[in-house]
Amino acid sequence: MKKIAMFGICGKMGTSMVKELLKEKDMEVICGFDKLNVENDIKIFNRYEDVRNLNPDLIIDFTNVEAASETITWALNEGIDIIVGTTGFKKDELVKIEERANKSRSKVFIVPNFSIGAVLMIKISQMIAKYFDGCEIIELHHDKKKDAPSGTSIFTAQQISQTKEFNSVRLKDGETETVGGSRGAFSDGIHIHSVRLPGFLAHQNVIFGTCGQTLSIKHDSIDRSSFYPGLLLAVRKINKMPNYSYGLDKILDL
């Protein structure tokens, strides 16, 4: 029986994922961790010491990048494995986390998107890239999302750039922006455009263009239940993973 502590348990993702985890026979959510403390049958703490006393096997984190960074450090010091669904980490932060994880006895698995469909979208985009001359990403999320661009869109750009780098600079020779930022963010040779509106959950459109044609690969998460199969897979496979991993693709047979 794997004992799980859910960090960010009072948030929308934490609440949704716990509801599903409670149905599993081979794992137990022993406590939550949150600055809020809504009515819940699960013990909810806001001090690490209280979590330590229950001796969890695994932490699942759906908080924010600042809180998650602190929790990762604590989990590594305590020898507790951690799966992180929080996004917004910068490249240098991930490098430091990997260095610390490789010196520890804990496993850190950072997953910018638990949707298996999103992972397939990224993999297909990598395959397509070599046949087109341009690529841009439009990502759309709910208006409460704190970070932009999304972790998924940044990861998509990174993965595509391993096949082909489309642009070496954000603005081409002679290209100007009438309004600053009109061409969007720029990551790994790809422009990323972020939309934040009520009504959306998590959506991404990868658009490729070449002479006389375009090709779009679109993925939509219309309900948070779309993330659960990927999370469950991560929980069940983390014991066999290296000390540091990034991206759900690491545990899919692609």
Asked if 145 is an active-site residue, the reply is yes
Contact 64/72 with Cβ under 8 angstroms?
no
Asked if 237 is an active-site residue, the reply is no
The arrangement of strands across the sheet holding 190-196 comes to: 185-187, 190-196, 134-141, 202-210, 213-221
The active-site residue out of 107, 141, 191, 193 is 141
The active-site residue out of 3, 96, 142, 145 is 145
The arrangement of strands across the sheet holding 244-246 comes to: 44-45, 27-33, 2-7, 58-61, 81-84, 108-110, 244-246
Taking residue 203's Cβ as centre, other Cβ atoms within 10 Å add up to: 19
Q: How far apart are CA 93 and CA 76, in angstroms?
A: 15
Q: Which of 145, 142, 127, 148 is nearest to 206 (CA)?
A: 127
Tokens 């897979």, located at residue: 233
Residues serving a catalytic function are 141, 145
